[in-house]
Structure 1
Amino acid sequence: MTIKPNPPNLPTPETSPESDLQQDDFDGGTGEKNLTSEALAAQQALAAISSLQSSQNTTALQQAHSSFKPVSTIQFTVKPRALLITLIAIAITFIGFVLDNWIIGILGTFITLVLSLAMLLPWLQFVVKEWFSPQDRTLFVAFVGLIVAIIGFIKFSGLGYRLFLWGRTIQWDAAGTLAEWFGALGQILIAIIAVYVAWRQYVISKDLTIQQNLLTVQQNIITQQQTIDSYFQGVSDLVLDEEGLLEDWPQERAIAEGRTAAIFSSVDRTGKAKILRFLSRSKLLTPLKRDRRLGRAIFNGNGGYEEDRLEGVRVIDLGVMLAAADLSGTDLRWTDLSEANLVRGNLSGCDLVKANLARTILYDANLSGADLNGARLFYGIVETASPRSRTQPPDYDTGEHTGAVVENADFTNVQRMSESVRYYCCAWGGEQTRGTIPDGCEGIPNLLGR
C-alpha cells in the first residue's frame, strides 16, 4: 500500500475585502455558524487526512466526519467601529449632564440606547430560547393578550364608565366596615393556608419516612442474604472433606446444628425457607446409612448416599428448631421435614409439593391454603398407617407409626390434597381437623377417638 505525500502548500481561503466591508457591525450567532479555533483546527486535520488515498483512511475519514459535532456555543462579535461609537455616545450623554444641555443629552441617550440594545439583542434572544420553551413563550403571550383584551373591553365597551358611576354612589363609610369584614376573611384564609402548608409538610414527611423504611427493608434483605450465604459456606466447609465427600463427625454435626438453630432465630420466613431447601437438597436433613465403625455415609451405587429411615443418622436434626415457626407463603417444594417438630407452626399458603412430612409433628399447625400435591404424610398404605409414637418404633413397610401428627391441624382450603392424604387426615386428625378438610370426611372413621 502506497501513501502519497501531502502537498507542500495547502490552499488557504482568502477573505474578500468587499465582503468584510459589507458585513454588519453587529454579528451575533451560535457555534453552528461561527467555528471556534478548536473546530477550525479539526477541519484542517480532516482536510489533511482526506489527501490519503487508501480505502482504510477513507473509512476513517468518514467515521471522523460522522462523529464530529461542532461545539454549540453562543458567540457575539462587535466590530471595533460599533464599540467606539457606543463609547462616544456614552461620553456625549455625560457631557449633556455636565453642561445641562437637553439636546446633547437626548442625542447621546438615544444613540447609547439604540447601540446598547443592538449589542444586547442576540444575548436576549439566546436567553429566551434557552430558558423558555416554545410552550412557555406561547403561554406568556396568551396571558398578556388576555390582560390587554380585558382592559380594552372595560375601556371601549363603556363598562369602565358604568363602574365609575356606580362607585360614586357607594357610601364609603359603610364600605369601611365591609373592609374590616374582608380583613377578617383574609386572616381566616391565611389560617387555612397555614393549615394546608402544615398538612403538606406532614404528607412530605410521611412520604420520606416511607421511603426511608423501604430503604431499611432493602438493606435488611441484603444483610440477611449475606448472612445466609455465609451460613451455606460455613456448613459446607464443616461437613465436607478436601475431596468433597461427606465426612461429618459428632462434633461437626453438633456445631452444624447449633449454627442452624442460631440462624433460624435471626432470619424471616423467606430466609428459613431458603435454609430448609438448601439443607434438604444437600441431603443434610435426610437420615443416611452409616458405616458402623467409621460413621461415614455409605454410597448407594447410583451416585448418591444410601438412605436409612429406621437407623440412619442425619447430619442436621431439626428437632424443635421450627416449633411455632412462621413459614407462611414460602416455597418448601421437595423439602425433607420428616420427624421435625412443627407444633403450632404456620404453614398457610406454603408450596409443599413433594414435601416429606412423615412423622412430622403438625399438632395445632395452620396449613390453610397450602399446596399438598404429592406431599408425603406417611409410609406404607393408608389403611394401616398411623401417627408416630413415643414408645413404638416405626414400621416403614406397613406404615404403622410413620405418619404425621395432624391433630387439631387446620386444612382449610388446601390445594390438590390426594385421596389417601385426605383419608389419613380424616382418620387421625380428630374432630377439629375433620371439620376443616375439603370435601369433608363423610364415611371415614375417626380412629383418633376424640
Structure 2
Amino acid sequence: MQRQLRRLILFTLTLMMIGLVLNRPTLSFIGSIATLVITGVIISRSLHSALTKLLSPQQWRFLLGCAGIVIACYGLAYLSPLDQPIYNWLQAQNWERIAILGSILGATGQILIAILAVYVGWEQYIVSKALTIQSNTITEQQTIDTYFEGIAQLMLDEHGLLEDFPMERAIAEGRTAAILTSVNAEGKAKILRFLSRSGLVTPLRRDRRLGKAILDGHGGYAEERQNGLRVIDLGVILAGADLSGTDLRQTDLSDINMVRTRFDQCSLGQANLSRTILREASFRGADLFGVRLFYGSLQRATPRSRADIPNYKTGQFTGAVVEGADFTDVQRLSESQRHYCCQWGGAKTRSTIPGGCDGIPNLLEGE
C-alpha cells in the first residue's frame, strides 16, 4: 500500500511538471490536485495514528463534546434575538481593563500550575521514598536470612549437633559483628532473638578435653554461667547501639558491654541483663517485666567487677552496671529491680526511677 502511494505521488508530480514545462495549465492543475489529495490522505493517516496514541478514545470524545457545546452555544446566540444586544454590550466594554484582568488571571493560573507542579513533585518524592524504604527492607531481610543460614551451616555438623571449634567461633563472631553494624534497630533485634533462642550467646558447659558443648539430657545443651563458654561473644558490638522500639523479650544479653545503648520503648520482658554494662543506657518507656539484673539475693547482689569472680549463688558481682542509666517512665518495674537500681545506679539514675528511691541507700556513692 505504501509503495503504491509513493508511485502515485511520483506520477502526479511528474504529470504536474510536464504540464508546467509544456505550458499546459489543465495538465498542471490536474497533477497538482491529484498530488494534494494523495499527500492529504497520507498525512491524515499519520496524524490519526499519532493522535490516537496521544489521547485515548474517551479523551477524544470529551474534547469533541466540549467543542460541540461551544459551537452550539455560539449558534444559538447568533440565531437568537439576543444577538444584537450582546454585540452592542461587547462593543461598549473597556477591553483594556478586561485585558489587565486577563493578565492577572493568567498570572494566577501560572502560580496555581506551579503549586500543582510542586505538589505532584512532592507526591512523587513520597512514593519514591516509600519504594526505596521497601526495597531496603527486603534487601536487609534477605541479608539477615543469609546470615542465619550461614551461621547454622557453620556451627552444625551433618547430624545437626553443635560443632564450634575456635576458628569457627571467631568467624561466627566476625560475621555477627559485621551484620549488626549494617542493619537497623529491628534487624538487630531479629539477630539477637535468633542468637538467644538458639543458645549461641548463652555460656554452655564444655567437655574439658575436647571443648565440645555437653547435652543436658532434656533435648538441649547444659548452661553453665560460672565457667561456660559462649559460641558467639557479643563483647562491645552493641555499645552505643540504638534498639529503640524493638522486641527483645527472652533474649540473653548478659555479660556484654552495652554502654550508652538506647532501649527506649523497648519490650524487654524476661530478658537477661546480668553482668551487662549498662552505664548511661536509656530505658525510657521500656517494659522491664521479669528482666534479670542479677543472680542470688537482692541483699548480697552487687554489680560486676573486672577483678572479682562472680558468685551465682549469692549474687556477688553478678549484677548489671546501671550507673547513669535513665529509667524514666519504665513499665512494670518490680520492687527488687527498683531497689537494685536505686542502690547501684548513682544519683543520676535514682532521679529517673519511677516510685523514687526514698529510704533506699545509695551504695554506689556510699550514702
Matching residue of 1:46 = none
Pair 270,167 (structure 1): closer, same or farther in 2 beyond 3 Å: closer
Match of 2:327 among 411, 415, 420: 411
What whole-Å deviation, never above 9, does each CA across 1:80-126 have from its counterpart, x for those lacking one? xxxxxxxxxxxxxxxxxxxxxxxxxxxxxxxxxxxxxxxxxxxxxxx
Give the superposition deviation at 1:163. Answer: 5.6
Distance 1:231 1:165, change over 3 A: closer
Specify the SS of the correspondent of 1:373: coil
Q: Does 1:279 align with 2:195?
A: yes
- Rounded Cα–Cα distance in structure 2 between residues aligned with 1:427 and 1:185: 79
Structure-2 separation of matches of 1:404 and 1:439: 20
Q: Which residue of 2 aligns with 1:112?
A: none
Are 1:250 and 2:250 counterparts?
no
Shift of 1:327: 0.4
Q: 1:410 to 1:184 in 2, by over 3 A?
A: same
2: distance between equivalents of 1:280 and 1:440?
33
In structure 1, how many angstroms separate the alpha carbons of the residues matched to 2:352 and 2:86? 86
The TM-score, its normalising length taken from structure 1, stands at 0.63
How far did residue 179 of structure 1 move? 1.5
Q: Give the aligned residue type for 1:299.
A: L
Aligned pair partner of 1:433 in 346, 349, 362: 349
How much does 1:194 deviate?
Answer: 1.1
Distance 2:154 2:87 in 1: 101
| 1:61-76 equivalence runs, <5 A | none
Where structure 2 has 5 or more consecutive residues not aligned to the other structure, the ranges are 1-56
TM-superposed CA distance for 1:303, in Å, is 1.5
After the TM superposition, which residues 189-338 of structure 1 pair with which residues of structure 2 at under 5 Å, given as runs? Answer: 189-338=105-254
Out of 241, 258, 263, the residue aligned to residue 342 of structure 1 is 258
Find the aligned partners of 2:285 and 2:195 in 1 and give their Cα distance: 25
Q: How many residues align structurally?
A: 301
Distance (Å, rounded) in 2 between the aligned partners of 1:239 and 1:209: 45
Q: Distance in 1 between matches of 2:139 and 2:283?
A: 30
Q: Which amino acid aligns with 2:335?
A: E
Query: Aligned partners of 1:263, 1:300: CA distance in 2, in Å?
Result: 31
Alignment of 1:382-397 (within 5 A): 382-397=298-313
1:102 is aligned to none
Question: What is the distance in 1 between the residues matched to 2:157 and 2:182?
Answer: 28
Correspondences of 1:51-62 after superposition (within 5 Å): none
Distance 1:230 1:131, change over 3 A: closer
Give the partner amino acid of 1:181: R
**1:122-180 Cα shifts (integer Å, max 9, x gaps):** xxxxxxxx969xxx9xx99xx99xx79x97xx96xxxx599679959x9x5xx5xx321
Question: Residue 291 of structure 2 is aligned with which of 350, 368, 375?
Answer: 375
3-state secondary structure, aligned to 1:396: coil
Q: Greater relative contact order (Cα 8 A, min sep 6): structure 1 or 2? A: 2
Q: Secondary structure at the match of 2:312?
A: coil
Letter in 1 for 2:279: Y
Distance in 1 between the 2:58 and 2:117 partners? Answer: 30
Check 1:279–1:162 CA distance in 2 against 1; reply closer, same or farther (3 A cut).
same
Query: RMSD of aligned C-alpha atoms?
Result: 2.6
What is the letter of the counterpart of residue 316 of structure 1? I
**Deviation >2 Å, runs of 4+:** 160-168
Task: Give, in whole Å, the separation in 2 of the partners of 1:217 and 1:433.
Answer: 37
What letter is aligned with 2:260?
R
Q: Find the aligned partners of 1:357 and 1:432 in 2 and give their Cα distance.
A: 20
Unpaired segments ≥5 residues, structure 1: 1-129
Query: Alpha carbons of 1:184 and 1:167: their partners in 2 closer, same or farther (altered >3 Å)?
Result: closer
User: 2:224 & 2:269 partners in 1: Cα distance?
Assistant: 23
Q: Distance in 2 between matches of 1:403 and 1:276?
A: 21
Secondary structure at the aligned position of 1:285 is classed as: coil
Residue 412 (structure 1) shift? 0.6
Pairing 1:186–2:68 present: no
Q: Percent identity?
A: 56
CA distance in 1, matches of 2:311, 2:242: 31
The CA distance in 2 between the partners of 1:397 and 1:378, in whole Å, is 11
TM superposition score normalised by structure 2: 0.77
Structure 1 residues 164 and 317, CA gap change in structure 2 (3 angstroms): closer
CA distance in 2, matches of 1:266, 1:374: 30
Between the aligned partners of 2:88 and 2:137, the Cα distance in structure 1 is 73
* 1:324-356 deviations in Å (ceiling 9; x for gaps): 001000000100000111100010011100000
2:112 is aligned with what amino acid? Y
Structure 1: distance between partners of 2:200 and 2:87: 100
Three-state SS of the structure 2 residue aligned to 1:301 is: coil
Structure number with larger C-alpha Rg: 1
Offset from partner CA, 1:59-82 (integer Å, 9 cap, x none): xxxxxxxxxxxxxxxxxxxxxxxx
